[in-house]
Structure 1
């Protein structure tokens, strides 16, 4: 099936079909509908290679995905699937890169004209890829916020406010000593933006509300590490009654370890999680949590990238406001708190 077959079926010239499909010229609504109906009836699909040559585009978006041992892969894949789904709605495919390829990977795909735009995840505060993204001349969108955002399009959850929200929730329930079980140590060593901002917001809100936050425990994404974190918390900080967990892999085994040690949730310890809703809902008891809107963040990133392809690349930072869902894991502080 060729463009000439579509033209004959619709009773127009091949160039008119081309203009309808490319949008490069204004075509009357009646003619456009007739051509699109012929495309549907005949099952015509433009040849990807020819279309790319004609438009000087590849119709591919690069997605840089974090695939590290300290990354919760199910959440990363939620982002990736959402990017692919939204990109396909705009007739684009997605090329996956890993963060290990770094700046060289970005230069490779841009220099070979493999992609039209780039979406980057797992953004660090001082991210070495930022100068390269500015040099490449392709629309680029970050799911995350670096320190220097000049000229960049960034979307993210407001993680600093998420940290504040969790601390305030616990303090408002009367908890005066709080702890934080966070991401693996390497995440903080890299100064990954979402983790650093969450912890800053948590500490800030605790200080503002007159609460103590003596314990911050980075935690590897294993059951053994979560159990060790629980033992350290109970041994070194017995007065803590409010706990914030930002580590999907550790949430369930941490609560289980507290229970095995004779501490009830929320009777002895109230727990708030930051992360995927299915993890919070699947823990016993279900955890009060600030959810991670992975699908919305991914979709917004693709929309900004596509707008950039059309010449409208709005720079700036979009932070989605966090929402805390109160479930069964938080309650007023026990009377012995602060005693």
Structure 2
């Protein structure tokens, strides 16, 4: 029986393209559509999801592993989850959401249950204890994030190192020479969660490359914590005029704190955040930001899994280049001592 991978190979396209042609869920060029349909006819492929599942003993269910641990911002995680669920339905798959922090034992339990065909794993740490298990499991898996040693795994993520560098370059290009990174809560750094550590790496690398002051500090999610952190930061480094924020829940409180402390944005303090576009757009002032492409990454994770399930080949590591949108919260540096 021909598979979707056979059709893709015969037509010279990706397995996901074949699925889009068959489902009609995405616009495909006329030439590509015709080539895929010719391959379907030539190979006698029957795109019936239920029949395929029965014949292959598949469940047509993907597991999404999101351990909801201390310091994680649930709304961001749910943006990824929504993208994954939506894309999975295009491929006639459902999603089993696993939020308990069960570590390697949880992966083994799910794999042995026959409930799911494949795994998407989030909240990946640099030295993630789940990695050895993922390499040995009989189920295909995709990680959103990537550990220090990613050999033999399929990983997709925003290039957070480049994102950190992009934020610094944006501020330095506007004349700011004293910068601070307001990062995630301490627990996220202590776990060495990949996205936080890599943003810090990019921030540090860029401040050193540009020859400017770069200070980094974690920040908890409460208003009192934001107030204390910013007050301490400005006492220790009163010349700081640019902030990079990688901590979406503190954005609103941070703007309130800066107003309370007499620092206007962007006249006295420029601010660029790594956050969702809708969060950046609804602030006053609107924030310059590097977007979190949850829909793109979540969708690509599912497409990669479907390709793997059909014995196709996918890249081991995909890093989505960051995009910075300049809005109202950043402006050229103005020297407060001469203003």
- TM-score (norm. length: structure 2): 0.83
Matches within 5 A, 1:16-35: 28=41
Q: How does 1:1-339 map to 2 (within 5 A)?
A: 28=41, 46=50, 52-98=53-99, 100-213=101-214, 215-336=215-336
Runs of 4+ deviating beyond 4 Å: 26-29, 50-53
2-structure distance, mates of 1:281, 1:153:
33
- The structure-2 alpha-carbon separation of the partners of 1:223 and 1:313, relative to structure 1 and needing over 3 Å to count, comes to farther
Per-residue deviation at 1:51?
6.6
- Quick one: distance in 2 between partners of 1:68 and 1:152? 23
Indicate the RMSD between aligned Cα atoms, in angstroms: 2.3
* Structure 1 residues 20-44: Cα deviation after superposition (integer angstroms, max 9, x where no partner): 9xxxxx9858x98xx99xx9xxxxx
Q: Is the 8 A contact 1:289 1:326 kept in 2?
A: yes
Show CA shifts across 1:79-115 (max 9, x none): 0011011111111111111250111111111112111
Decide whether aligned partners of structure 1 residues 82 and 310 sit closer, same or farther in structure 2, where only a CA change above 3 A counts.
same
Unaligned ranges ≥5, structure 2? 1-21, 23-38
Contact 1:252 1:284 survives alignment (8 Å): no
Cα distance in 2 for residues equivalent to 1:53 and 1:295: 30
Contact kept, 8 Å, 1:160 with 1:198, in 2: the verdict is yes
Output the CA distance in 2 between the equivalents of 1:283 and 1:67: 26
Is contact 2:268-2:336 (8 Å) kept?
no
State the distance in 2 between where 1:276 and 1:226 align: 20
Moved more, 62-71 or 261-270: 62-71
CA distance in structure 2 between the partners assigned to 1:296 and 1:263 by the alignment: 36
Residues 121, 338 of structure 1: alpha-carbon distance in 2 compared, 3 angstrom cutoff: farther
1:227-275 CA-to-partner distances (Å, cap 9, x unmatched) read 2222222222211011100000011111110111111011111101011
Q: Secondary structure at the match of 1:156?
A: strand
Larger radius of gyration: 1
| Equivalent position SS for 2:182 | strand
TM-score by length of structure 1 reads: 0.83
